[in-house]
């Protein structure tokens, strides 16, 4: 079962562990856009796909390092991912709010 990358899939993955059974960090699932207060209803699917690609790359790299036994480096990569996710979420939140306002004006 392969999901289409163009469609948001937060409902499917937001509460689950990674595909390989690894758990996300104690600080919550930082790769879940909704956790950052972003309303994905007002984002183009391409923005959500970009988010998934970026956060997935960090998480995948951290998981790979952890499998290789490099816990320290995995923690650093995860922290970088968390910081990057926060910055990207800020931009996407602004975009979603702008799109929401535009939609209200159009109605």
Please answer whether residues 8 and 48 qualify as being in contact, where contact means their C-beta atoms are separated by less than 8 angstroms: yes
Tell me how far apart the alpha carbons of residues 92 and 62 are, in angstroms, rounded to a whole number.
Answer: 24
Which residue stretches of 1-107 are H helix?
10-13, 45-67, 71-106
Q: Which residue has the higher pLDDT, 38 or 14?
A: 38
Contact 35, 28 (CB under 8 A): yes
First to last CA, the chain: 38
Tell me the pLDDT tens digit for each residue of 37-61: 898 999 999 999 998 999 999 999 9
Tell if the pTM clears 0.75, that is, is over it. Answer: no
């Amino acid at each position: 079962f392969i999901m289409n990358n163009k469609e948001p899939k937060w409902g499917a993955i937001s509460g689950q562990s990674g595909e390989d059974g690894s758990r996300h960090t104690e600080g919550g699932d930082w790769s879940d856009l909704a956790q950052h207060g972003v309303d994905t209803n007002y984002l183009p699917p391409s923005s959500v796909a970009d988010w998934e690609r970026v956060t997935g790359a960090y998480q995948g790299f951290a998981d790979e390092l952890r499998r290789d036994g490099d816990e320290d480096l995995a923690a650093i990569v995860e922290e970088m991912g968390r910081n990057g996710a926060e910055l990207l979420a800020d931009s996407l939140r602004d975009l979603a709010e702008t799109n929401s306002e535009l939609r209200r004006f159009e109605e």
